Structure 1
Amino acid sequence: MLRTLSRPAVALMDRFLPDPFIFVLILTLVSAAAAIVFEGTGPLQVIEIWGDGFWGLLTFSMQMLLVLVTGFILASSPPVRRALAALAGLAKSPGGAIVLVTVVSLVASWVNWGFGLVVGALFAREVARLVRVDYRLLIAAAYSGFVIWHAGLAGSIPLTIATPGHFTEDRIGIIGTADTIFAGFNLTIVAVLFVVIPLVNWLMVPRPGDSVHVTPEQLDDKLPDSFVPSRPAEHLENSRLLMWLVGVPGLVYLVYYFAVRDGGLNLNIVNYLFLMLGIVLHGTARNLLNALQEAVKGGAGIVIQFPFYAGIMAIMTQSGLAQSMSEWFVSISTATTLPFWTFISAGIVNLFVPSGGGQWAVQAPVMLPAAEALGADVARVAMAVAWGDAWTNLLQPFWALPMLAIAGLKAKDIMGFCLIHLVITGAVVSTLLVVL
């Protein structure tokens, strides 16, 4: 049944889903029009808000570009390629390949969302070299695992409310991860999705005649062969000692960071880890720079689109539109149904504000007083926002850009499969948030 349903979904997205840049332009116009019509914000004021907020994600944009670049650099090193190939060798059939990629992506995304995006895409590419399987579904399977990131170790909302000094501490105090990430209801949802998502991907495997394949040659990164240096500058570019003198101390810092300072994973640390490992494993600056030149080719979408999303976020938050949307859902809720409607509202807001931390800043002032007034579980409501934020990433191409760049695909190639996941995971998560 899912194979049958996925065919029209894939065809629909292939025909009507525009390039993500067109998608962000449409979202910009929709958010601006909604702010004018529903919030009474003047057109010039909307333009001012948009322009002032346009560069609000510059730091994050650079971080995401580095996720793509450093991840590619690490994965293109000979030792990592051999390791990925060995793990990919466990897949012996198209269905097995899809399930294996999904599980690896789920695990990696639960550990850290940036790690999951890169590892999922790179591993899917390696599996595609060995198994003849629909490449679109393979990358969609890697992206589908991303849906659990906000319930994992790097979830921004549960980590925020567990940190002393967070902006809602005066209202809810400190809520530890034992009540959010490691709460029974949350772990149960994660466990169910670890079964459901691979199963759904397996059931969507197209028939051979409907599959789209790639050849190993199409996945070659076309890195230049090494050469024998003749000039002093070329000797430096091919010096392993120089690279190790920088890379090894970098890895020593990571040991200190995790073992002594008890530091946690965040985007900067993931990028630092990828880069330092890449420096050591590539061995020479020339090899690393060759990988870098290949990696940056896929970063154009991130560079051009993220500023537009920053502008949309500014319109949604500063006009009051996101808050009004949340308040409407609260008005139709009870103590029992508040987590459900919180999840739905968070999913809608996420289409316009694709940032977990930014979304919590918008919705917390509305959802937390509602939870207290209705007697609902505050920790559960917070996780409902987190799950809603992650859920509609299956429809919002914002987070898929790094993975699509690594895979060499367009959003329309995978979003038909993701649409099936959107319906199924939405039903699973929303139901379990209320029932458990």
Structure 2
Amino acid sequence: MNLTRTIENIFRKYLPSPFTIAVLLTVLTIILALAFTSSPQNENHFFNILSYWEEGIWNNGLLVFAYQMMLILVLGHVLVLSKPMEKLIMRLTKYVSNTANAAVLVALPTMLVAFFNWGLGLIFGAILARKVGEYAQKKNIAINYPLIGASGYLGLMVWHGGVSGSAPIKVAENGHLKDLMQNISGSALTAQWPEAISTKLTIFSVSNLMVFATVVLVISAVVYFLGRRTRTNPTNLKTYHFDKQEKKYLVGAERLDHSTVLSTFFGILVLSVFLLQYLPALRALNITPNMLNFLMLGLAILLHGSFKRFLLAVEAAIGDVAGILIQFPLYFGIMGIMAQSGMINQISDFFVSISNETTLPIFTFFSAGLVNIFVPSGGGQWAVQGPLVLESASQLGVPLYKAVMALAYGDQVTNMLQPFWALPLLGITKLKANEILPYTLLFMGVGTIIYITALLIF
């Protein structure tokens, strides 16, 4: 399709790596701050801006946030590589009989899993798509493998409204809002910001759960329809192996690394402490990053059955976080400039001047989708765009939880266009971006209609 080739060529020719984009955005922010803001008299404005940038990069609270997001991604990937998850994936593939039901068998579980953890959903969907392709090839079942691969990427269209969504779970953390907004020029006094926005109002609200259920059902129907109407393609796939650990004779203390008893004990210990520490918050449906990561840590150790298998899985997953590790500080620096120079106040005033309580969430949705193209990490995007969204919502009287979800919806839907997070899936499935783009663009269009309708209704 000409459209998908054009989009792929645009990304390849005109969009450099996400790190380079982060550097260019930093330079652009410095220039804009110099042009449109000013410092107190007798102070060097350029030096002040550089100081704001440096302070933002090493903002302790935001660095903790970056580490929390890295753990969410790594532990999610680690869970997929466990034996129980392998058995689940292999069991699902046995129900494949044609492209239509294969696409649903990939799309539906992937979206459900991604609602719990986006890193888990991303790798789960990729491996499930690959195993469905292998099973169909082995059983001589004709399928449209690119559609199956695109279905395995659908978790990235629902993740930010789910349990691991960067913005909703971070604002549920006590003190985050005040820390984020304390340097915003012209904002309300820090004391007037709420301590937290519970996930009961965002992720677990009736409106968000209805939106998620609608997306799951409608998109599942779409992939089924496409599976019935599209042509099949031959595949030539080698067997993808979950566990590449070589068995060897164990000596002395090596037995502890491979001990099922020790790892099971420690996994149960972690989960017991999780219940002891977080059960009240869990009952209140208030999920925080630390809470989610602690649960996944215990589950990952328990499901892998030994520290050795767990650490091998961590080693396999650790490459996923390279972008977060090196790019997040640059996003924090951008936020530091925008917050302390007064740019956020100026931009929010502009949005307030052209918006009202009804249209601001829609503007937020589309702007978040656009920003996601240049800042492909939801956590990084929250650091840059979150203060602007909160400030604008506060001025117009839009509920803060609605503004947060509008950003989350806009960010997640354009993942179907943004190829950055598709790279792990493409590597596992051995597909090319232009093979899945025709389908992911259609998913993005359907999702956009659902999310905008929801923002207008709720």
TM over 0.5: yes
Choose from 224, 235, 245 the match for 1:224.
245
Structure 2 CA distance, aligned partners of 1:409 and 1:273?
33
Per-residue CA shift, 1:26-47, capped at 9, x if unaligned? 3333333333334468444443
Structure 2 CA distance, aligned partners of 1:313 and 1:405?
33
Describe the shift of the 1:14–1:172 C-alpha distance in structure 2 as closer, same or farther (beyond 3 A): same
Structure 2 CA distance, aligned partners of 1:140 and 1:103?
12
Report percent identity of matched pairs. 34
Contact 1:223 1:294 in 2 (8 A): no
- Per the TM alignment, residue 275 of structure 1 is displaced from its structure 2 partner at its CA by 3.3
Choose from 46, 66, 70 the match for 1:61.
66
Describe the shift of the 1:72–1:321 C-alpha distance in structure 2 as closer, same or farther (beyond 3 A): same
- Per the TM alignment, residue 331 of structure 1 is displaced from its structure 2 partner at its CA by 1.3
Structure 2 CA distance, aligned partners of 1:110 and 1:338?
26
Question: How do 1:33-182 residues align onto structure 2 when only pairs under 5 Å count?
Answer: 33-39=31-37, 42-56=45-59, 57-113=62-118, 115-131=120-136, 138=148, 140-153=150-163, 167=178, 170=192, 181=203
Q: Which amino acid aligns with 2:245?
A: P
- Per the TM alignment, residue 193 of structure 1 is displaced from its structure 2 partner at its CA by 2.2
- Per the TM alignment, residue 83 of structure 1 is displaced from its structure 2 partner at its CA by 1.8
Contact 1:148 1:390 in 2 (8 A): yes
- Per the TM alignment, residue 419 of structure 1 is displaced from its structure 2 partner at its CA by 4.9
- Per the TM alignment, residue 290 of structure 1 is displaced from its structure 2 partner at its CA by 3.3
Structure 1 CA distance, aligned partners of 2:70 and 2:402?
33
Q: Answer yes or no: is 1:363 the counterpart of 2:368.
A: no
Residue aligned with 1:91, SS? coil
Structure 1 CA distance, aligned partners of 2:150 and 2:33?
34
Structure 1 CA distance, aligned partners of 2:12 and 2:171?
40
Contact 1:20 1:411 in 2 (8 A): no
In the alignment, what sits opposite 1:25?
23
Residue aligned with 1:67, SS? helix
- Per the TM alignment, residue 354 of structure 1 is displaced from its structure 2 partner at its CA by 3.9
What stretches of structure 1 of length at least 5 have no aligned partner?
none
Describe the shift of the 1:25–1:407 C-alpha distance in structure 2 as closer, same or farther (beyond 3 A): farther
Contact 2:161 2:409 in 1 (8 A): yes
Per-residue CA shift, 1:122-157, capped at 9, x if unaligned? 544444443466776655534433333444455566
In the alignment, what sits opposite 1:192?
214
Contact 2:80 2:123 in 1 (8 A): no
Residue aligned with 2:245, SS? coil
- Per the TM alignment, residue 346 of structure 1 is displaced from its structure 2 partner at its CA by 4.1
Q: Which amino acid aligns with 2:22?
A: V
Structure 2 CA distance, aligned partners of 1:173 and 1:253?
25
Per-residue CA shift, 1:105-131, capped at 9, x if unaligned? 322333444554454445444444434
- Per the TM alignment, residue 288 of structure 1 is displaced from its structure 2 partner at its CA by 3.1
Q: Which amino acid aligns with 1:274?
A: M
Residue aligned with 1:232, SS? coil
Choose from 300, 310, 314 the match for 1:292.
314
Q: Which amino acid aligns with 1:75?
A: V
Describe the shift of the 1:308–1:76 C-alpha distance in structure 2 as closer, same or farther (beyond 3 A): same
Structure 1 CA distance, aligned partners of 2:93 and 2:442?
26
Aligned residues: 426
Higher relative contact order (CA 8 A, sep 6+): 1
TM-score (norm 1): 0.76
TM-score (norm 2): 0.73
Contact 1:326 1:345 in 2 (8 A): no
- Per the TM alignment, residue 81 of structure 1 is displaced from its structure 2 partner at its CA by 1.0
Contact 2:164 2:289 in 1 (8 A): no
Question: How do 1:369-408 residues align onto structure 2 when only pairs under 5 Å count?
Answer: 369-371=395-397, 380-381=402-403, 383-394=405-416
Describe the shift of the 1:228–1:305 C-alpha distance in structure 2 as closer, same or farther (beyond 3 A): same
Contact 1:302 1:402 in 2 (8 A): no
Contact 1:11 1:416 in 2 (8 A): no
Residue aligned with 2:253, SS? helix
Contact 2:81 2:313 in 1 (8 A): yes
Q: Which amino acid aligns with 2:157?
A: V
Structure 2 CA distance, aligned partners of 1:321 and 1:408?
44
Deviates more, 1:10-19 or 1:160-169: 160-169
Contact 2:365 2:409 in 1 (8 A): yes
Contact 1:50 1:312 in 2 (8 A): yes
Contact 1:73 1:275 in 2 (8 A): no
Structure 2 CA distance, aligned partners of 1:151 and 1:176?
13
Per-residue CA shift, 1:80-114, capped at 9, x if unaligned? 21122112333333443333332223223334445
Per-residue CA shift, 1:342-385, capped at 9, x if unaligned? 333444455558437544433222222213xxxx6676455434
In the alignment, what sits opposite 1:305?
327
Q: How big is the alpha-carbon RMSD for the aligned residues of Structure 1 and Structure 2?
A: 4.3
Contact 1:237 1:285 in 2 (8 A): yes
Structure 2 CA distance, aligned partners of 1:301 and 1:261?
31
What stretches of structure 2 of length at least 5 have no aligned partner?
40-44, 138-142, 179-189
In the alignment, what sits opposite 2:352?
330
Contact 2:72 2:117 in 1 (8 A): no
Describe the shift of the 1:148–1:364 C-alpha distance in structure 2 as closer, same or farther (beyond 3 A): same
Residue aligned with 2:96, SS? coil
Contact 2:102 2:132 in 1 (8 A): yes
- Per the TM alignment, residue 223 of structure 1 is displaced from its structure 2 partner at its CA by 1.6
